[in-house]
């Protein structure tokens, strides 16, 4: 129902056609504050019905105009729930959305398109130049007219730790959450070497989400392996899978990925279940992990790995998105857990 702008601008969707199951999309338009990156990353957008008259006091543009401005093809009038059931039976597949080809040519084009397996989209979405995150870190809220307050943001806490964040397809809300947890964040390109990171003398390293096949990122696995045992490390989504490869493990392509904001995950240490936001098409093979790696979280739908922790080193990761955007906030505590891990490591 909500969150379509965040999905469209999530770099993890690079190279994918996205279909939304809610019947009408675009009801509240779009606005600059809700983007998760500088531009859309989806290949095409498939919906049941486009709202012709969006209404929201924060809206600055309709969804249709936004997609048009960025030359993203959209199609409506699709039975997206039937499409979803089809994919849930046969698995995620290659597709073609076109205004030019006939049926046979469109099928041929879809079949000829590259598979997600083996694809490195990280190089397409990673920041070309490193930067220090400065903006949009404050927690948004509606001003309180009765008190005369006009600010849209809560004040930020003081900086407790300095970290380096690898950008494999980093979402803005991860940076916001890190800053809200007391981190000063320097973002680096995916090809930044481990030696370069250590030369910055950070308190920890963050490994971001991102698109494509984690097995295709050998050049990243090598550099992260170089950092193990030297700094606290926290990974999310693709960052979790990259850590698995750095540990000596492997990943595999799921028949259909985990998408959306209602994925149940069980913490094997506490027994607690969280409802989580997820977006990934690959999973960690638990049998491939060395004995020093503990699987801490599993997906209750299919039993796949959702979190890991090194038994001796200050390294942990989750497959899902604790920053959500969109989605539930059940797992937001991991940012504080990362801060506490760094505190412990400094003692």
Are 55 and 204 in the same domain?
no
Task: Please confirm whether the linkage preceding 326 is cis (ω < 30° from 0).
Answer: yes
Our answer to whether residue 226 is catalytic in this structure is no
- What phi and psi, each to the nearest 5 degrees, are found at residue 265? -130, 135
Exposure letters 306-325 (e unless 16+ CB within 10 A, then b): bbbbbeebbbbbbbbbbbbb
Domain at 248, CATH number: 3.40.50.880
Q: What is the CATH number of the domain that holds 76?
A: 3.50.30.20
Q: In the prediction, which pLDDT does 149 show? A: 61
Q: Flag whether 67 is in a domain.
A: yes
Supply the range of the domain harboring residue 33.
4-112
Residue the block writes with tokens 């008259």? 53
pLDDT tens for the chain, residues 1 to 347: 789 999 999 999 999 999 999 999 999 999 998 999 999 999 999 999 999 999 999 899 999 999 999 999 999 999 999 999 999 999 999 999 999 999 999 999 999 999 899 999 999 999 999 999 986 555 556 666 677 665 566 678 899 999 999 999 999 999 999 998 999 999 999 999 999 999 999 999 999 999 999 999 999 999 999 999 999 999 999 999 999 999 999 999 999 899 988 999 999 999 999 999 999 999 999 999 999 999 999 999 999 999 999 999 999 999 999 999 898 889 999 999 999 999 998 87
217 and 95 within one domain: no
Which of 41, 221, 223, 237 is catalytic? The answer is: 237
Domains: count for the chain: 2
132 among known catalytic residues: no
Same domain, yes or no: 210 and 298: yes
The two most distant CA atoms of the chain are separated, in Å, by 66
Please tell me whether residues 313 and 243 are part of one structural domain: yes
Do 218 and 311 belong to one domain?
Answer: yes
Give a yes or no: residue 117 inside a domain: no
Handedness of CA 220, 240, 189, 31 (dihedral sign): positive
Same domain, 276 and 222: yes
Task: At 195, give phi and psi (nearest 5°).
Answer: -65, -40
Cα distances from 128 to residues 19, 214, 286, in angstroms, run 30, 20, 34
Q: Is 323 tagged catalytic?
A: yes
108 with 127, same domain: the answer is no
Q: Are residues 178 and 287 in the same domain?
A: yes
pTM: 0.93
Answer yes or no: is 69 within a domain.
yes
* 11 and 129, same domain (yes or no): no
Among 161, 221, 297, 321, the one annotated catalytic: 321
């Amino acid at each position: 129902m909500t969150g379509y702008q965040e999905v469209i601008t999530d770099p993890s969707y690079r190279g994918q056609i996205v279909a939304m199951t809610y019947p009408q999309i675009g009801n509240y338009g779009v606005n600059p504050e809700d983007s998760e990156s500088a531009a859309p990353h989806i290949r095409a957008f498939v919906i049941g019905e486009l709202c012709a008259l969006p209404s929201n006091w924060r809206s600055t543009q309709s969804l249709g105009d936004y997609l048009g401005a960025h030359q993203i093809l959209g199609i409506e009038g699709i039975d997206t729930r039937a499409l979803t059931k089809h994919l849930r039976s046969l698995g995620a597949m290659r597709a073609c959305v076109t205004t030019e080809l006939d049926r046979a040519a469109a099928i041929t084009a879809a079949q000829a398109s590259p598979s997600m397996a083996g694809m490195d989209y990280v190089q397409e979405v990673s920041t070309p130049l490193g930067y220090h995150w400065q903006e949009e870190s404050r927690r948004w809220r509606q001003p309180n007219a009765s008190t005369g307050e006009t600010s849209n943001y809560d004040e930020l806490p003081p900086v407790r730790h300095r970290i380096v964040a690898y950008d494999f397809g980093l979402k803005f809300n991860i940076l916001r959450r890190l800053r809200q947890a007391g981190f000063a964040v320097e973002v680096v390109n995916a090809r930044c070497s481990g030696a370069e990171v250590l030369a910055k003398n950070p308190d920890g390293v963050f490994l971001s989400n991102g698109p494509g096949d984690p097995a295709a990122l050998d050049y990243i696995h090598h550099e992260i392996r170089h950092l193990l045992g030297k700094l606290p490390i926290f990974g999310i989504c693709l960052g979790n899978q990259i850590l698995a490869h750095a540990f000596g493990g492997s990943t595999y392509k799921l028949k259909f990925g985990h998408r959306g904001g209602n994925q149940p995950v069980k913490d094997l240490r506490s027994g607690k279940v969280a409802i989580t936001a997820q977006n990934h098409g690959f999973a960690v093979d638990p049998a491939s992990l060395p004995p020093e790696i503990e699987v801490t979280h599993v997906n209750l739908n299919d039993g796949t790995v959702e979190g890991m922790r090194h038994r001796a080193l200050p390294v942990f990761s989750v497959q899902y998105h604790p920053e959500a955007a969109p989605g539930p906030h059940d797992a937001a505590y991991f940012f504080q857990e990362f801060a506490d891990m760094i505190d412990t490591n400094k003692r």
